[in-house]
Amino acid sequence: MTAARRKTDAADPAPIRVGPSVFDWGQRTYVMGILNVTPDSFSGDGLLEDDPVERTVATARRMVAEGADLLDIGGESTRPGHVPVDAAEEIGRVIPVIAAVAAALPDTPISVDTAKPDVAAAALAAGAHLLNDVWGTSPEVGEMAAVAAGAGVPLIVMHNRAEARYERNVVAEVVADLSAALDRAIAAGVPEANVIVDPGIGFGKTADHNVTVLCHLGALSTLGRPVLLGTSRKSTLGRILDLPVEERLEATLATTALGIAAGVDIVRVHDVGPNVRVARVSDAIVRGHWREHADGSAR
């Protein structure tokens, strides 16, 4: 099935169950909180040192209190120049944390951010409900979809390339790569309804590529799948503003609002509270997601 044969109408994808929650696409934007159990996160938020289980559970509780709809836990940095870790070390980092967060917050869906099938399987056994594969569009990687299919859980396929090379139009190639990845996931047994796509801002792309993709996020609608956007504190935002990672909140919030206007369904962020507030206002304007007091006055 090619991108041209996917849904091109305005219908929203069918709801997806992620662990204890059902995500009803098109009603509002969902906010995913990032929990990095690493010593070398690009954003400086790594939680590996000083009792990572206790620190991560505390951070997870705060994110949920601020409005996070789900949490994404990862044990290997994906920043440029990061030091790779093997599956055993990654499992040692994330599995105790996932188990503790699942026990502390049983009503909150948990995603595991990994490119390793063995880590994914161990994470699901420990209490995760969703797989987030940063190499989801690599033709050489097929086992992750098989893990998702075997466990009956949803899968996020993120766009990525080993080199930031595009022969023609970066947007068209991102959509084509994601379409092919969706085909592979379906062939591996993952129901199409269980796949979420991510354009992979900051992965296998130059700053110019990233901005171009952000300008054309609406093109992803041809895939007919929910779209996750991860721009939080990314280097492209730093390039635009010439600011370090700790001063990129406003830039992240701008991309959250513009992404929602373009139709994204999930935003993956470090700063949950401010992004939740931006998402609520953006949803009120873009999606008509608006609540009123009992007396009829608008909140």
pLDDT tens string 129-163: 999 999 988 876 568 999 999 999 999 999 999 99
Lowest average pLDDT, out of 31-40, 58-67, 123-132, 198-207, goes to 31-40
Lowest average pLDDT, out of 61-70, 72-81, 238-247, goes to 72-81
Active site residue 268: yes
Lowest average pLDDT, out of 78-92, 104-118, 270-284, goes to 78-92
b/e per residue 100-131 (b: at least 16 CB within 10 A) = bbbeebeebbbbbbbbbbebbbbbbebbbbbb
Return the bridge partners of 131, or none. Answer: 112, 155
Q: What's the pTM?
A: 0.90
Which residue segments constitute the domains of the chain, with CATH numbers given?
A: 29-286 (3.20.20.20)
Of all residues in the chain, the percent with pLDDT exceeding 90 is: 80
For residues 24-28, give the mean pLDDT. Answer: 95
Instruction: Select which of 234, 248, 277, 280 is catalytic.
Output: 234
Cα distance between residue 130 and residue 126, in whole Å: 12
For residues 164-169, give the mean pLDDT. Answer: 94
For residues 185-191, give the mean pLDDT. Answer: 96
Active site residue 248: no
Return the bridge partners of 156, or none. Answer: 132, 196
The distance from CA 86 to its chain's CA centroid, rounded to whole angstroms, is 22
Instruction: Select which of 93, 268, 287, 299 is catalytic.
Output: 268
pLDDT for 42 beyond 60: no
Q: Please indicate whether residue 47 or residue 64 has the higher confidence score (pLDDT).
A: 64
Instruction: Name the nearest CA neighbour of 159 among 176, 178, 141, 145.
Output: 178
Crossing angle between the packed helical segments 143-151 and 117-126, to the nearest 10 degrees: 20
**Per-residue pLDDT at 39:** 75
For residues 246-271, give the mean pLDDT. Answer: 98
Lowest average pLDDT, out of 59-63, 79-83, 266-270, goes to 79-83
